[in-house]
Amino acid sequence: MEETLNKEVASRKTFAIISHPDAGKTTITEQLLLFGGAIRQAGTVKGKKTGKFAKSDWMEIEKQRGISVTSSVMQFDYNGKRINILDTPGHEDFSEDTYRTLMAVDSAVMVIDSAKGIEPQTKKLFKVCRMRGIPIFTFINKLDRDGKEPLELISELEEVLEIDAYPMNWPIGMGKGLLGLYDIYHQRVEVHRPEVNGKDGERYAPLNEEGEIEGDHPIKHSTLYDRALEDALLLTEAGNEFSREAIADGELTPVFFGSALTNFGVQTFLETYLEFAPGPSEHVTKEEETVSPYEEKFSGFVFKIQANMNPAHRDRIAFVRICSGRFDRGMDVTLARTDKKMKLSNSTQFMAESRETVQHAVAGDIIGLYDTGNFQIGDTIYEDRLNVHFEDLPQFTPEIFMKVNAKNVMKQKSFHKGVQQLVQEGAIQLYKTYHTGDYIIGAVGQLQFEVFQYRMKNEYNSEVVMTPMGNKIARWIAPEDLDENMSSSRNLLVLDRFDQPLFLFENEFATRWFQDKYPDVALQTLL
């Protein structure tokens, strides 16, 4: 029994796929699912005319905009490994969702547009990965188009992100002139179009001891090949040394070039990733102890809550990262926050919009639990006698605020239900004015409000009126320090959803003025 569990846990690979919008993250996810046999056909992500959309973009607004605004979870098997992919929102307005998702994975795949290089959001997300010390694998995408010079991209990666890079392969040409990839790690050339550029239609051409293609091959007669060969030799002699340990510590990122759209280089990337990516890691508790994934007893934490993944059924799902042991449908667990016992009988695993009831899962897997309101983001659940409380997940202080009301006062019930459920997902935060109880919502980015308004109308049949309040500085104070007279036109007194008091300050000047007037009152932020 124990041996079987250990073997299952060791076969798990769980990673988040991160990038700036439009770098091709969703397309590469589709190709990976294709290799795992999870889907039969990869459609163009924004193919509105064909009605084909990425399997990971399930929300209607995502299909319309061609961007991901939620974290999707997908699972497939490949080469004896079970892979859990968490596709994250690339848009910076949804960074909070992405940060929490990064707490639930063991490695990250960073997708970079070869024409644009490192973009601001990539830099932001990368910092979180470094903070957690998780291994990062880089896929430089869109090689089928003309982009920046590969050497420029590698040096930009190292300088901007301050991480050592090791190219696992090297482009032979780019755009329309793309002939293939010089595979440094596997000592072969991967041919871009075997039917045109490959001898006898072969996908790979092996290299000899001098690092050149063996025998006669069409690619050998190109100056692009000569240049790639020179670059590859230069990189192996003068570049960073390859080190499994440095990859595992998140200090060296293996870099893969390819094109997700034409499915070139993706399979090689997947197979090499599986060779180097870590299995399930230990998780730290609030007591600063570690829980091993090979611990027999089950434990996990809720890193995401999503309402209405299937609008027809008005469902609400809590996403759980299993940290230890095995999950069996119908098992009894304890919810650490309330010490309440519960039976996990209604569970699911994901293939984006298609799902199936999960009977069994182990450490490293992501499962969904149908939830009637028991769970909150950050909750720990555990099997009896294990008694653990995992560390809190990051929560961010909102910067933009809106007053929100129901357009139709006769639909107050659906309005309140919608607000409460969407707030529990963690994308927006809810506040009430201290005296009148009027609703104010806060978010990290403007697009969050658009999604909130859209979902209120389409999922809860409640049109809302939103009045901008602009940027505010939110600062919490201890209830015992509160005096209602502290409130003014420059610092609005509100309560958060846990009835904790805070002020929404107009600007930095108003914050400093308050601190000067009340030097003994501590102002606190979330993160």
For the stretch 366-375, pLDDT in tens is: 998 888 878 8
Return the closest-CA partner of residue 37 out of 76, 73, 80, 85. 76
Determine the pLDDT at residue 66.
45
Is residue 69 scored above 70 in pLDDT? Answer: no
Within 69-149, where are the H helices?
A: 95-102, 120-132
Domains 12-179+244-276 and 283-383 agree in fold:
yes
Is residue 1 scored above 70 in pLDDT? Answer: no
Residues 6+ apart with CB under 8 A from 293: 9, 279, 280, 281, 282, 323, 324, 363, 364
Determine the pLDDT at residue 45.
39
**Beta carbons of 87 and 25 less than 8 angstroms apart:** yes
Return the closest-CA partner of residue 286 out of 396, 385, 380. 380
d(CA 324, CA 385): 13
Is residue 307 scored above 90 in pLDDT? Answer: no
> How is residue 270 written in tokens?
């997947």
> How is residue 220 written in tokens?
């050998």
Q: Is 348 annotated as a binding residue?
A: no
Q: Is 91 annotated as a binding residue?
A: yes
Q: Is 48 annotated as a binding residue?
A: no
d(CA 460, CA 412): 11
Q: For residue 36, name the pLDDT band (cuts at 50, 70, 90).
A: confident
Q: Is 249 annotated as a binding residue?
A: no
Higher-scoring residue by pLDDT: 328, 350: 328
> How far from the centroid of its chain's Cα atoms is residue 167's Cα?
24
Residues 6+ apart with CB under 8 A from 358: 327, 329, 347, 348, 349, 367
pLDDT digits (tens, 9 = 90+) for 402-436: 999 998 878 888 898 888 888 877 768 899 999 89
| 203-209 contacts, C-beta under 8 A, 24 or more apart | 205/180
> How is residue 177 written in tokens?
């002139």
d(CA 183, CA 228): 10
Higher-scoring residue by pLDDT: 313, 448: 448
Is residue 244 scored above 90 in pLDDT? Answer: yes
Query: In the chain, what is the straight-line distance between the N-terminal and C-terminal CA atoms, in Å?
Result: 43
**Beta carbons of 487 and 513 less than 8 angstroms apart:** no
Strand 464-471 and strand 400-406: the pairing is: antiparallel
Q: What single-letter DSSP state applies at residue 302?
A: E
Residues 6+ apart with CB under 8 A from 393: 100, 103, 301, 303, 377, 378
Q: Is 20 annotated as a binding residue?
A: yes
Place of tokens 């046999």: 37
d(CA 190, CA 206): 9
Q: What is the CATH number of domain 283-383?
A: 3.40.50.300
Determine the pLDDT at residue 38.
62
pTM (two decimals): 0.79
Q: Is 384 annotated as a binding residue?
A: no
Q: Is 279 annotated as a binding residue?
A: no
> How many H helices and E strands in the chain?
13, 30
Is residue 57 scored above 70 in pLDDT? Answer: no
d(CA 201, CA 199): 5
d(CA 520, CA 110): 45
Q: How many CB atoms lie within 10 A of CB 116?
A: 15
Tell me the mean pLDDT in the region 155-165: 89
Q: Is 205 annotated as a binding residue?
A: no
pLDDT digits (tens, 9 = 90+) for 349-358: 655 445 667 8
> How is residue 376 written in tokens?
């909150």
Domain 12-179+244-276 CATH assignment equals 3.40.50.300? yes
Residues 6+ apart with CB under 8 A from 487: 434, 493, 503
d(CA 320, CA 92): 24
Query: What are the residue boundaries of the structural domains of the chain, listed by start?
Result: 12-179+244-276, 283-383, 400-524
Is residue 49 scored above 50 in pLDDT? Answer: no
> Which CATH architecture group holds 400-524?
2-Layer Sandwich (3.30)
Q: Is 25 annotated as a binding residue?
A: yes
> How is residue 236 written in tokens?
């192996």
**Beta carbons of 298 and 324 less than 8 angstroms apart:** yes
Q: Is 218 annotated as a binding residue?
A: no
CA distances from 149 to 114, 140, 232, 239 (A): 8, 12, 14, 16
Higher-scoring residue by pLDDT: 396, 233: 233
Q: Is 46 annotated as a binding residue?
A: no
Q: Is 143 annotated as a binding residue?
A: yes
Q: What single-letter DSSP state applies at residue 455?
A: H
pLDDT digits (tens, 9 = 90+) for 119-146: 776 777 777 777 778 899 999 999 999 9
CA distances from 108 to 8, 18, 105, 282 (A): 21, 7, 7, 16
Higher-scoring residue by pLDDT: 11, 51: 11
Q: Is 417 annotated as a binding residue?
A: no
Determine the pLDDT at residue 361.
92
